[in-house]
Chain A
Amino acid sequence: MSEANVNTGEKKPRVIIGFVCERSIPITEMIDAQKALVDDPETKIVILPCSGMVKPTQMELALTKGADATFVCGCAIGDCHYRTGNIMIRERLEGERNPKLRKATDKRRVGMFFYTMKDRRTFLDALAQFKAAVSDIQ
């Protein structure tokens, strides 16, 4: 899980669902009308008020309904606009806080990123690494 190792596999995942906090990366400037990332059309985005609003079951829904991977992107740790939303979702995905991901969920396909509105490029790089790692999963 999390920001995975760099992988050089050429096979790319088909579709990624990202749950992105509207106050973290400048997401509204980064998507097209179909809510796909302009720099990566395979990644579709659901925008939320805070990353802490994401339910693990919603990420599981994305995976069970056909997404190759899913991720959440919140504000930088220590800088959540709503104080603790990013910490809450991180702890839920790491299994330290309820509600958690089900044990059967392939956690390698679940990513999490925490960046500020100035980290557009850094986020895209981390996402590319995550996708490369996911594409290598058999």
Chain B
Amino acid sequence: MYKKFLQLTKNLTVSLEKGVNFLTTHEHNPLYFHGALPLYTFWFLIFSGIMLWMYYIPTLERAWSSVNYITSLPVFLKDAAGHLVLDKNGAPIVDAVNSATGIPYGAVVRGIHRWGAAAMMITTLLHMFRVYFTDRHRSWRWLPWISGVFLLLFVLFVGITGYLLVWDARAYRMVVETQDWLRAMPLIGNWSAEFLVGGTGINDYTLTRFFFFHIGGATLLFVLVWVHFIRLHDPVVTPSRATNFLTLGFILVAAGALPAINITEQLIQQFPSLASDRAYIGSDSPAQIGVLVETMRYDAWYLFPYYLINKAGVGGAWAILGASTLLLMVAPFYPKDRRDNLAAVIEAKCTGCTFCSLDCPFEAITMQERAPGSKFKLIAVVQEARCSECGVCVGACPFQAIELPNTHSKTIEAEVLDLLKTGA
């Protein structure tokens, strides 16, 4: 039943990809680069993050204003009637007194960071669902899948801590709700809640800690990516050029059209639509400790845990998030496949040429030293738990020294000769 479901999802995925091929051609179909896209978008986050880091000040007093300095839009002078004051050329005049000067294109750089983060979560989910729907997550692939689940959780963690760094009213409410959520854990609940903020309450070290969580978490993503790749030979890390430009275009256009800004009362007066809850791309006014905002702008990609906390309660959020993570963790172990065709090395024929080891798609073959005095120095050894039974090693071996027992080369050659006889 479950296998039939996976077969159905594979059929649908292949059909979808075939449809996309008509639009993009096969070589540039983004769906064939689903694994490389999250890593590609991560580079945008690193470079835009470094630029933001140069001006960001992680203290309670200055975090919001430093972000606002980076990203503030110009405030224009208005007359008593509320109309824009224009210069002799008809252009609005910037209010030099009340307007933060800002960093040139700072809002766009922050927008790249913000939209790049959305792109990373979208492409990560695309990668996960594509792998799952094509049944490429089970059995010998358990390590890439499990490390992928941790990568997903860390991307979420880094994204959420990014929202905290702005230290606006939403960030304060998120901290309070996160602490409530953590306190619901038995035994370590209170300790975790205090660890989050670095003390019994929010203090001068809190934002430094969030800053470390954000940068440290992003750095740890590289370690997890290494684990993710450790059993993959030659992983695809670069999308096609057209896919690169498509992603770059999406992020730049989004960042230019909807830059990430702090939505102040002054800005709302200038642009009333910014008061809407739908303007989730923006941040709120500065956080005031002890003052919880009534409504919260939810970003679907990163702030859904807070939506769950508000809709299902702390216990409900734990149950939903915990059950989802558990399901993802057990997914590669069910259903189990019959594994009776694992590659086997014929020791007498193996010359230690390394071809099979170099070609194995899952790093399942290691080369080990033979006993002293042997004719050849090395011998191929199959790590059975990693073997996919694909036979690529068989195709790589010029000496017929590695075989799949149920699909032996001699059997294939006999079949070829047999077919030639019947075809004559």
Binding site for B on A (CB under 8 A): 14-15, 17, 34-36, 42, 44-46, 48-50, 52-55, 57-58, 61-62, 65-67, 76-85, 88-89, 92, 97-99, 116-119
- Shortest CB distance A75–B (Å): 10
Is B407 a contact of A78 with CB atoms below 8 Å? Answer: no
Q: Tell yes or no: B233 within 8 A of A by CB.
A: yes
- 7 tightest A-B CB contacts, nearest first: A53-B391, A78-B32, A52-B392, A15-B423, A82-B390, A44-B419, A83-B361
Q: Are B416 and A85 in contact (CB under 8 A)?
A: no
Which single member of B11, B15, B416, B424 contacts A17 (CB below 8 Å)?
A: B416
Q: Mark B343-379, 1 if CB is under 8 A from A, else 0.
A: 0000000000001000101100000000000000000
Interface residues on B, range: 35 or more
Which chain A positions have C-beta within 8 A of B233? Answer: 83-84
- Cross-chain contact A116 with B17 (CB below 8 angstroms): yes
- B interface, over-half SS: helix
User: Contacts A53-B390, A83-B232, A118-B15: A78 and B395 contacting too (C-beta < 8 A)?
Assistant: no
A to B contact number (C-beta, < 8 Å): 127
CB distance from A30 to the nearest CB of B (A): 15
Chain A contacts for B404, CB-based, 8 A: 49, 53
Check if B11 sits within 8 Å of A82, measured CB to CB: no
A85 engages B392 (CB within 8 Å): yes
- The answer to whether B26 touches A17 (Cβ under 8 A) is no
Contact of A79 among B17, B359, B397 (CB under 8 A): B17
Whole-angstrom distance from the CB of B49 to the nearest CB of chain A? 30
Some 27 contacts from A to B, beta carbons below 8 A apart, are A15-B423, A46-B419, A49-B407, A52-B391, A53-B390, A53-B394, A53-B404, A55-B394, A55-B397, A57-B398, A65-B420, A76-B32, A77-B32, A78-B33, A81-B134, A81-B390, A82-B392, A83-B233, A84-B392, A88-B359, A88-B395, A98-B355, A98-B396, A98-B398, A99-B397, A116-B17, A118-B18
CB neighbours (8 Å) of A42 from chain B are 423
B236 nearest CB across to chain A (Å): 8
* Residues of B close to A76: CB separation below 8 A: 26, 32
Query: In the complex, which residues of chain B have a beta carbon less than 8 angstroms from the beta carbon of A36?
Result: 423
Q: Is the CB of B390 within 8 A of A85?
A: yes
A44 and B361 form a contact (CB under 8 A) = no
User: What residue of chain B has the Cβ atom nearest to residue A117's Cβ?
Assistant: B14
CA distance A118 to B18 in the complex (A): 8
In the assembled complex, B234 has its CB within 8 A of some CB on chain A? yes
